[in-house]
Structure 1
Amino acid sequence: MELWILIATIVVIAAIGLYRFFKARKIMNTLSEEEFRQGYRKAQLIDVREPKEFDGGHILGARNIPLSQLRTRLQELRKDKPVYLYCQSGARSTRAAMMLHKKGYTDLYMLEGGFKKWSGKIKSKK
Structure 2
Amino acid sequence: MFKLFSKNAAITTKELENDLSEKTILDVRTPGEYRMGHISNAKNVPLDKIATYVGDKETPVYVICQSGMRSKRAVGMLKKKGYTAINVRGGMSQWTGTIKGGK
TM-score, length basis structure 1 = 0.73
Root-mean-square deviation (CA, aligned residues, Å) is 1.8
Contact 2:10 2:89 in 1 (8 A): yes
Task: State whether structure 2 residue 41 is matched by structure 1 residue 52.
Answer: no
Q: Give the deviation of 1:80 after TM superposition.
A: 0.7
Aligned residue pairs total 102
Extract structure 1 runs of 4+ deviating beyond 4 A.
none
Structure 2 counterpart SS, 1:42: coil
Structure 2, unpaired ranges of 5+: none
Contact 1:40 1:84 in 2 (8 A): no
Give the corresponding residue for 1:101: 79
Contact 2:29 2:47 in 1 (8 A): yes
**What are the equivalent positions in structure 2 for 1:17-96 lying under 5 Å apart?**
19=4, 22-23=5-6, 26=7, 28-72=8-52, 74-75=53-54, 77-96=55-74
Distance 1:39 1:119 in 2: 14
* Higher RCO, Cα 8 Å, sep 6+: 2
Q: Which has the larger radius of gyration?
A: 1
Distance 1:104 1:81 in 2: 11
Q: Give the deviation of 1:39 after TM superposition.
A: 4.0
